[in-house]
Amino acid sequence: MMGMEERIKRLQQRLGLPVDGLVGPVTLTRLEALVDQVLGKAPTPAEYNLECSRVGLDLIVEFEISSQEHYERRLVRPTWPGGESGVTIGIGYDLGFATRSQIRSDWRELPERVVERLVEASRVTGTKARDLVPSLRDLRIPYSVAKAVFYTRSLVQYAVETRRVYPGVEFLPADAQSMMLSLVFNRGTKLTGPTRTEMQQLVTLVKDADLPGMAAQFRSMKRIWQGTGLTGLLVRREKEAVLIEKSRREYTTGEIVYL
């Protein structure tokens, strides 16, 4: 008899979606669209935080782990990305910026003994996080769990934060919404301080839907990491800026994901 996960994978295959057995925002969005086609639009529209493009969400995954193969080869154990980051697991999940209760809730699919070890890294950042990593390197975070946490918890949480900090972001093209989500996922919501000038400038630019101005601020941020060796962040800001500039106003069904 076919199990639930296999039934989900079969359905995803028929819908032309990534076949991962996960009922996350991508699959739910497609199913909602099909229900609307058959039964008509719901009398009370669903409330979403952001309307993102699959292109944009795929880019965030690329920024964070490159690919599943790279993840399973290099990132399946806790790491420290450098700078002021904390111990990082899964798809860009920074334990240093998560509370103990949040870690326990988000990673509940893992064995309890593993979760309690991860909790040790809560609110630990910078060089202290670097020094903590060796004691956690015996832990493995399966890609299937990492992906589930990323799509069903992390993205939704950061979508809420993105909309809170940048009012009007929900009216931008889906590509631009995705890249604002990428920025907040990567840098958080703090807007004050000399390294946060561009993030503060983005508040007005987002409200005005000034896409060229937004892209310019993303590129301006690269000043922060020049000469630090963190070339990945320079590449990330440039790719985010390019997608914002090229944002599409219209996407066909299946290319949009609601968070």
Whole-number Cα distances in Å, 171 to 59, 177, 211: 20, 8, 12
Q: State the average pLDDT over residues 28-50.
A: 74
CB 53 within 8 A of CB 175: yes
Q: How far apart are CA 164 and CA 22, in angstroms?
A: 27
* Cβ atoms within 10 Å of 1's Cβ, excluding its own: 3
The SS3 assignment for 45 reads: coil
Q: Which residues have C-beta within 8 Å of that of residue 191, sequence separation ≥ 6?
A: 165, 199, 200, 203
Q: Which residues have C-beta within 8 Å of that of residue 104, sequence separation ≥ 6?
A: 115, 119
pLDDT for 43-54, tens place per residue? 666 678 999 999
pLDDT for 161-199, tens place per residue? 999 999 999 999 999 999 999 999 999 999 999 999 999
Side chain identity at residue 2, one-letter code? M
pLDDT for 189-245, tens place per residue? 999 999 999 999 999 999 999 999 999 999 999 999 999 988 999 999 999 999 999
Give the DSSP H or E segment for 257.
strand 256-258
> What are the tokens at 163?
């909309």
